């Protein structure tokens, strides 16, 4: 069993504590929370493979970066798969399936609203899990899934012929396996992975506020990039995803070069060895912020079914010859040149 302390938010502590003895936690700030918790408990497998947490809209204010609350829940809960609803926003993570697979399912179901979209997400994720937790009726008896789920007078039929039928139809029309169908293009995935490799180096710099902020911002950028392509895959046409890939392939490679240990990290830890260190540091921080802001705007455009708009040029970084060289080296090592 996990032992934990909660700092920075008042939402995950009660949830993690409750998940030590149950698979469903619904915040008491949710209207009709008791009925919702009882209904969801009928849908979640009783084998401890999935945890479901439902929080109100205001919990989103505690997100220090995208998936902050989800990360705390997955680290603190014993269940290997966690599905989180914050208001109408659905997300999740799974040690067995991977975060991208669960996010894809959750994003596809958000349009159904709450709680129907949450119930369907639980059913579909459960169906995708390996045999130990893959049977939606595991540990709770097949008859439980045939019972209507009644919430506030609305009947949600979580029946095998309905929910599982939807899962089967989606499997036939989608990629063969969610585990292998990464909605993030391979080149973009390489850049996201490299960003995540760099973040801990900044977090390890003691007593440097800019380094600590950069670590957080790198993690936020990586998560936002994933969200953009996941949502493009679920809600937009293939042409929009191709356009986004073309736009961000070079920009992210340039940022990776600027954020690498030989440049910004060295500027922060040994500024005495560089000319105009403050100017260079400012350029990278501005570029990181600008790209992140544009990606968040793109996500909002996808959600609103609008075309993508791009306005960030990163001209200041383009002007640094050493960054151009490191960018080319990154692309070469990635097999892109």
Phi, psi at 52, each rounded to 5°: -120, 130
Task: Tell me the average pLDDT of the chain.
Answer: 80
The CA-atom distances, in angstroms, between 173 and each of 107, 167, 169, 170, 178 are 16, 10, 6, 5, 12
The half-sphere exposure of 257 on its side-chain side, counting CA atoms within 13 A, is 24
Are 28 and 102 within 8 A, CB to CB? no
Say what the pLDDT of residue 331 is: 63
Of the segments 2-16, 160-174, 291-305, which one has the largest average pLDDT value?
291-305
User: Per-domain residue ranges for the chain?
Assistant: 12-173, 186-333
Tell me the H-state helices in the chain: 12-19, 33-43, 68-76, 99-109, 116-128, 131-134, 165-173, 186-203, 209-235, 238-259, 264-269, 277-303, 315-318, 321-333
Closest CA to 30 of 93, 88, 117, 105: 88
Class of domain 12-173 (CATH, top level) = alpha beta
Distance of CA 301 to the CA centre of its chain: 18
Which of 325 and 223 is assigned the larger pLDDT?
223
Residue 334 has pLDDT above 80, yes or no: no
Q: Which helix (H) or strand (E) holds 26?
A: strand 24-26
Whether the pLDDT of residue 243 is over 70: the answer is yes
Give the pLDDT band (50/70/90) at residue 260: very high
Per-residue confidence at 162, pLDDT binned at 50, 70, 90? very low
pLDDT value of residue 323: 76
* 127-137 tens-digit pLDDT: 888 864 444 33
Alpha-carbon dihedral angle through residues 234, 87, 49, 63, given to the nearest 10 degrees: 90
**Token output for 202:** 């900044």
Average pLDDT over residues 146-160: 40
CA distance 118 to 129: 17
- Each residue of 163-192: pLDDT tens digit? 333 333 344 344 444 444 788 999 999 999
Radius of gyration for the chain, computed over Cα atoms and rounded to the nearest angstrom: 22
pLDDT confidence of residue 306: 87
Alpha carbons 199 and 219: distance in angstroms, whole number? 7
């Amino acid at each position: 069993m996990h032992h934990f302390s909660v700092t920075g938010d008042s939402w995950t502590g009660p949830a993690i504590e409750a998940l030590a003895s149950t698979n469903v936690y619904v915040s008491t700030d949710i209207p009709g929370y008791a009925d919702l918790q009882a209904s969801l408990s009928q849908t979640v497998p009783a084998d401890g493979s999935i945890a479901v947490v439902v929080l109100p809209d205001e919990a989103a204010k505690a997100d220090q970066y995208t998936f902050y609350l989800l990360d705390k829940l997955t680290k603190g809960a014993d269940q290997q798969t966690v599905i989180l609803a914050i208001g109408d926003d659905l997300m999740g993570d799974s040690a067995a399936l991977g975060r991208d697979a669960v996010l894809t399912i959750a994003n596809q179901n958000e349009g159904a609203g709450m709680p129907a979209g949450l119930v369907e997400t639980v059913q579909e994720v459960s169906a995708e899990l390996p045999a130990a937790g893959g049977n939606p009726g595991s540990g709770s008896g097949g008859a439980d899934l045939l019972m209507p789920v009644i919430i506030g007078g609305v009947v949600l039929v979580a029946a095998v012929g309905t929910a599982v039928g939807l899962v089967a139809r989606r499997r036939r029309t989608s990629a063969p396996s969610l585990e292998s169908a990464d909605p993030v293009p391979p080149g973009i995935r390489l850049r996201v992975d490299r960003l995540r490799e760099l973040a801990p180096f900044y977090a390890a710099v003691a007593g440097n506020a800019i380094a600590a902020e950069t670590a957080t911002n790198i993690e936020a950028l990586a998560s936002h990039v994933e969200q953009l392509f996941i949502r493009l895959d679920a809600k937009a046409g293939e042409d929009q995803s191709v356009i986004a890939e073309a736009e961000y392939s070079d920009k992210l490679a340039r940022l990776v070069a600027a954020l690498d240990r030989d440049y910004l990290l060295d500027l922060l830890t040994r500024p005495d060895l560089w000319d105009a260190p403050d100017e260079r540091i400012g350029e990278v921080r501005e570029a990181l912020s600008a790209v992140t802001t544009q990606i968040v705007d793109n996500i909002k455009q996808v959600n609103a079914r609008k075309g993508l708009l791009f306005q960030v040029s990163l001209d200041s970084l383009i002007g640094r010859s050493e960054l151009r060289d490191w960018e080319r080296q990154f692309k070469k090592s990635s097999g892109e040149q």
